[in-house]
Every structure is written in structure tokens, then in C-alpha cells.
Amino acid sequence: MITINSLIKEYNSRNKSVLALDNVSINIPSGSIFGIIGKSGSGKSTLLQIVGAMEKPTSGSIVVDGFSIEKMNKTNLSKFRREKIGFVFQSFYLQNYLNVYENVELPMIGKNIKSFEKKDRVHKVLELVGLKDKIYSKVSELSGGQLQRVAIARGLINNAKILLMDEPTGNLDSATRDSILKLIQNINRNFGATIVVVTHDKEVSKICNETIELENGRVVKRT
């Protein structure tokens, strides 16, 4: 369902160009958990951002769920993002001035969803990630693992078919990491969501059906 061919991404800043992705070709099957590993600066987040239609490639083709990302205009890209993709970012991007409920509700704002349905979805998704008892807590009162759960809940709220995660277990202790990994597997099984996960963590790659390793923007290993 995600097909990437000869993808190149070059960043140009201050007369310097960086080749962040150098001829990447991959196939990510529908319903799989796909891991992207590699050292810092190897191009992992760049690849995830292109899959999520947040960045356009310099050249090459990328088809996600039948849509050619490189051919779409800005309006269509943002519509595509809202409808198809759930994001769980590195360092969460949660809003500290909002409570758990409000953070999870955010991606539904501006969508034509009735308020009772929004409420129902927030309750269901928080139940799924095991955070119902924290629904009205301030984000600043939560632990690292709980914050990560809020970020996952928010990524799921629009029933996205594709969930992109950047370091979902970063900075977590091993018990909390294990429970996040179980949660990711549950989401994959119960919703049939395709999950693309960027990670440094060997334990995370264990739950992946396939992984690639990037080095200087190139695929150097496929497992």
C-alpha cells in the first residue's frame, strides 16, 4: 500500500545542500508494522515526513494508498494528511495548556464530526490506551509513558489507516516500553492499521514484520 521508488530528498540551506535520502526504494505492505532504523542523521525522520505528506521528495515516486504524493498540490496534501495519516511525533508535541481530553480531540477540530461523536471517540481511544482515569489531567502532570499514550491516542483519533511513529519508546524505562509495544501490536491487529515506526530501539524492531536500515540516506540493510 506504500510504494516508494528511487526517492531522493535534498535539502538546500545556506548554500549547502544535504542529501538526506539517496535513491530509496521500498514497499510497505498494507497492515504491516514496518521499522526504519539507523544512526542519527541517516534520514529516518525525513523518510517518515515524506510518507506522511509533510515534505515532498526532490525526485522519485511515492504512492500511498493509491495517491501519488509527489504529484499533489498543497491543498490536496493537507486533505490527504488529515484523512489518511495519524502522527505520533518525536518529543510528542502535546499542548501543555490543554488537558488530556483536549489534546486527543485536537485533530478532529474543523472536521465535520458531531460533538457527541467526538466525545465518544475520545473516550474510546483513551480506554484503548489505558488512560481513562487521566482524561481531565493536565499534560504537565503525566509521566513519560503516559504522555506517549496520549500522543498515540491523538494519532488514532481520526481512524487513520496509516500510523507514523517517530521514536515511540524514546526515553522510556523497559517496563513502560513493553506496554507501549503491546499497545502498538494491539492497534495493528485490531484496526488493521499500517504502522511505520522510526526507532533506535532493538526491542521495537522485534515487533516489526520488516525493517530497513538507513545510512547516509541509503538503504544498507533489509530484514
- Residue among 11 and 93 whose Cβ is closer to ligand ATP: 11
What separation in angstroms does the CA of 139 have from each of 20, 93, 128, 172, 200?
34, 11, 18, 17, 26
Which range touches Mg ion (CB under 5 A), out of 43-51, 99-107, 183-191, 202-210? 43-51
- Residue among 44 and 149 whose Cβ is closer to ligand ATP: 44
- Residue among 45 and 99 whose Cβ is closer to Mg ion: 45
Q: Which amino acid is at 188?
A: N
- Residue among 91 and 223 whose Cβ is closer to ligand ATP: 91
Which range touches Mg ion (CB under 5 A), out of 44-52, 77-85, 96-104, 153-161? 44-52
Contacts (Cβ under 8 Å, ≥6 apart) of 33: 184, 185, 188, 195, 197, 207, 208, 209
Chain centroid to CA 181: 14
Question: What DSSP string describes 131-153?
Answer: -GGGTTSBGGGS-HHHHHHHHHH
Q: Which amino acid is at 13?
A: S
Taking the C-alpha atoms of residue 79 and residue 53, their distance in angstroms, rounded to an integer, is 10
- Residue among 4 and 128 whose Cβ is closer to ligand ATP: 4
Number of residues that bind ligand ATP (CB under 6 A): 12
Minimum CB separation of residue 48 from Mg ion in Å reads 8
Does the protein bind Mg ion through residue 45 (CB under 5 A)? Answer: yes
Minimum CB separation of residue 172 from ligand ATP in Å reads 16
Site for ligand ATP in 16-55 (CB under 6 A): 18, 20, 38, 40-46
- Residue among 43 and 168 whose Cβ is closer to ligand ATP: 43
Minimum CB separation of residue 40 from ligand ATP in Å reads 3
Minimum CB separation of residue 203 from ligand ATP in Å reads 17
Question: What DSSP string describes 14-68?
Answer: TTEEEEEEEEEEEEE-TT-EEEEEESTTSSHHHHHHHHTTSS--SEEEEEETTEE
59 bridge partner residues:
8
CA angle 146, 211, 158 (to 5 degrees): 45
Does the protein bind ligand ATP through residue 168 (CB under 6 A)? Answer: no
The footprint of Mg ion (CB under 5 A) covers 45
The footprint of ligand ATP (CB under 6 A) covers 11, 13, 18, 20, 38, 40-46
